[in-house]
Amino acid sequence: MKHARIKVTHYGGPDALQMIEEECPEPKHGEVRVRVLAAGVSLPGLMMREGIHPETPPLPFTPGWDLTGIVDRLGNDVSGIEPGQIVARCQSEVRTRSSFVCRDVNWFRSLLAWTP
């Protein structure tokens, strides 16, 4: 299965963003795969794209610090979370501007008890 991911190819304005299509990541041991429903846009993210934020990763990188999504697949030895569960993560490492992300199960927070 393919998925889309944004990649910053050089520091600068919106022209530094490139959308790529690649194989969907598979969760490793202790990880979950989340289908991203929303990824935040923030001033620190824009500063990273421009190369002026103190935590700017090396090029190329996928931007994004925050996400809300649905657990899509579990890796081996994952408990406490189920496929279909809505999860979120804020103020985290980069790489949330993708159709799917795989991270350690403890990286996410469940929104199961959240009521709008």
Per-residue pLDDT tens for 97-113?
999 999 999 888 887 65
Q: Is residue 48 classed as helix, strand or coil in its secondary structure?
A: helix
Residue 15: exposure state from Cβ atoms within 10 A (0-12, 13-18, ≥19): exposed
Domain-embedded: residue 106:
yes
CB-CB neighbours of 94 under 10 Å: 17
Phi, psi torsion values for 16, nearest 5 degrees: -80, -10
- The tokens for 113 are 């008890």
The total domain count for the chain is 1
Domain-embedded: residue 100:
yes
Domain-embedded: residue 43:
yes
Would you say 3 and 21 are in contact if contact means Cβ atoms under 8 Å apart?
Answer: yes
- Distance between CA atoms of residues 88 and 40, nearest Å: 11
Q: Is residue 33 classed as helix, strand or coil in its secondary structure?
A: strand
List pLDDT tens digits, range 5-23.
Answer: 999 999 999 999 999 999 9
Domain-embedded: residue 18:
yes
Whole-model pTM: value is: 0.88
